[in-house]
Amino acid sequence: MIVMKFGGTSVEDASALCNVAQIVAARRYLKPLVVLSACAGVTNVLIKTAHDAAAGNKKEAMKGFAALQERHNTIAEELLGPESHRAKEVFESDFAELRQLVHGLSILNELTPRALDQIVAHGERWSSRLLSLFLLRERIPAEYVDARTVMITGNEFTKAAPLFDIIQEKAEKILQPLLDEGKIIVTQGFIGATKEGITTTIGRGGSDYSASIFGAVSNADEIQIWTDVDGFLTADPKIVSDARRIKEMTFTEAAELAYFGAKVLHPSTILPAVQKSIPVRVLNSRRPEGEGTLITNTAPAYPGCVVKSVAYKKGITVIGIQSTRMLMAHGFLARVFEVFERYKKSVDVVVTSEVGVSLTVDTEADVEAIEAELARFADVKVEKNKVVFCVVGERMKLTKGVAARVFHALAESGVNVELISQGGSEINLTFVVDESDVEKTVRALHREFFSDNYDEAGLVDEIPE
Ligand code: ADP
Ligand code: ASP
Ligand code: MG
């Protein structure tokens, strides 16, 4: 069997959903389990509407839900014709409940993460309801499965951690018999429930992660992530219009890039796939005939290909910690990291010298408190609005001169590099620049490594005429 996950833009309206149904039907012989995101933009609207309600802005919240209901009803009518009433009845009952919640929240004047999850988790249920009804109408044996019966998580609302052992048990009990019967399961990404049955979500963009977990617990032959671009590209196509498709990459390369901001894959997606050695393929639902990008344990080493792709993460804070006492003193770093540990703050990049250590964190939360604690034993400098860049490729460790090419290209473009780290994972070079230099940096690196005369390796697509 295979898992096929379709992101928001792939299910944005009736024609997109119809296209998804065709893609799924054409792969019926592979026994697909389909995982859907909410229709494009719906999660954002649900979050905003929930906040409006809790802020006492009842009129705005009611308007938000009414517009969502109308959007889903319209899709139902266009997709299902006379049978749309089956979807519309489900929607009406959900929206009646949501309207009730608006009153409750506006009285309480508070939006708990638990209430937020309860609201937000509707989006993927609506899109998957629409697809499963459409498949049935097309005489394809679809089975709607509420992911909350299988995707059991902890109670960390809005970022709940999936509990693998229980999910495995549930999958064997609930999903396997349906697959054995030849059903095409249609379920939701992103949402889950605690052991007690309280609705949770697993973090923004988390449908990729859900797909990978469903794949791992069902021993899938492949996990397919269907999105709105041709695959994993050499850079974000929103910045580099001629970014090119990477044919194959390793799990490690994909994990580094996803972690450092390549939005095409949620950073947690790779882990369940690696554990079961299941290939992940990124595909374009608008061009289903394309090959996409295949991510495996052992992508072939193309001799000419050194750098595979470039990713970046914005909103980074750099914390510089200096102490003359660090010189020759043991235990200094332990003391520094103990502070971060206490605030459960994860650190992305670390660079040390004789008298100091610089590191990056990716949210501003608790930074002031951490700064105050560090200031007790060191000089601390905090710089916000930075970007951490990551240049990735398995062959970088074997190739001389990559760093020189990176920094020469940046110098030529007038980009100031503030912090450099290489060797953590052997396959990446990481550095920090100012947020105002993001576009310049991506373009300079792309020009250097993926310019027209590149492609000795046949790794990326032919350059279009
Ligand atoms: P979905 O809704 O299908 O999950 P996302 O918006 O989460 O889609 O991810 C796809 C987007 O990721 C693309 O439209 C593209 O702009 C962005 N992206 C960023 N970096 C890359 C990259 N290296 N390769 C491909 N896409 C990328
Ligand atoms: N709909 C969710 C979000 O927008 C999950 C996803 O699409 O992956 O974050
Ligand atoms: Mg996504």
* Structure confidence at residue 463 (pLDDT): 40
How many other CB atoms sit within 10 Å of the CB of residue 436?
10
DSSP run (H or E) holding 85: helix 84-108
Q: How far apart are the C-alpha atoms of 188 and 5, rounded to whole Å?
A: 9
- CATH code: domain 2-228 is 3.40.1160.10
* Cβ(162)–Cβ(213) below 8 Å: yes
User: Is the CB–ligand 2 distance for residue 205 below 6 Å?
Assistant: yes
User: Is the CB–ligand 1 distance for residue 205 below 6 Å?
Assistant: yes
pTM equals 0.92
Q: Which residues pair with 382 in a beta bridge?
A: 319
* Structure confidence at residue 426 (pLDDT): 77
Q: Spell out the residues 6+ positions from residue 443 whose beta carbon is closer than 8 angstroms to its own.
A: 239, 240, 413
* Cβ(380)–Cβ(320) below 8 Å: yes
How do residues 412-430 score in pLDDT, each as one tens digit? 999 999 999 886 667 899 9
DSSP annotation of 412 reads: H
User: Is the CB–ligand 2 distance for residue 192 below 6 Å?
Assistant: no
Q: Which residues pair with 2 in a beta bridge?
A: 32, 222
CA–centroid distance for 142 within its chain: 26
User: Is the CB–ligand 1 distance for residue 13 below 6 Å?
Assistant: no
* Cβ(61)–Cβ(53) below 8 Å: yes
Domain boundaries, given as residue ranges, for the chain: 2-228
Mutate to test the pocket of ligand 2, among 5, 10, 37, 210 (most ligand atoms within 8 A of CB): 37
User: Is the CB–ligand 1 distance for residue 293 below 6 Å?
Assistant: no
* Structure confidence at residue 451 (pLDDT): 77
List the chain residues with pLDDT less than 50.
455-458, 461-465
* Cβ(308)–Cβ(256) below 8 Å: no
User: Is the CB–ligand 2 distance for residue 215 below 6 Å?
Assistant: no
Q: Is 204 exposed, middle or buried (0-12, 13-18, 19+ CB in 10 A)?
A: middle
Strand ranges for 158-245 from DSSP E: 184-188, 191-193, 199-201, 222-227
User: Is the CB–ligand 1 distance for residue 292 below 6 Å?
Assistant: no
Which bound ligand lies closest to the C-alpha atom of 147?
Answer: 2
* Structure confidence at residue 352 (pLDDT): 86
Q: Is 271 exposed, middle or buried (0-12, 13-18, 19+ CB in 10 A)?
A: middle
Strand ranges for 129-273 from DSSP E: 142-144, 184-188, 191-193, 199-201, 222-227, 248-250
* Cβ(147)–Cβ(189) below 8 Å: yes
Helix (H, G, I), strand (E, B) or coil at 84: helix
Mutate to test the pocket of ligand 2, among 204, 263, 265, 285 (most ligand atoms within 8 A of CB): 204
Q: How far is the CA of 378 from the centre of ligand 3 (A)?
A: 41
Give the position, in ligand 1's atom list, of the atom nearest the Cα of 208. Answer: 4
* Structure confidence at residue 203 (pLDDT): 97
* Structure confidence at residue 452 (pLDDT): 61
* Cβ(231)–Cβ(282) below 8 Å: yes
DSSP run (H or E) holding 177: helix 176-180
Q: Spell out the residues 6+ positions from residue 127 whose beta carbon is closer than 8 angstroms to its own.
A: 11, 17, 36, 37, 38, 39, 42, 188
* Cβ(128)–Cβ(36) below 8 Å: yes
How do residues 114-140 score in pLDDT, each as one tens digit? 999 999 999 999 999 999 999 999 999
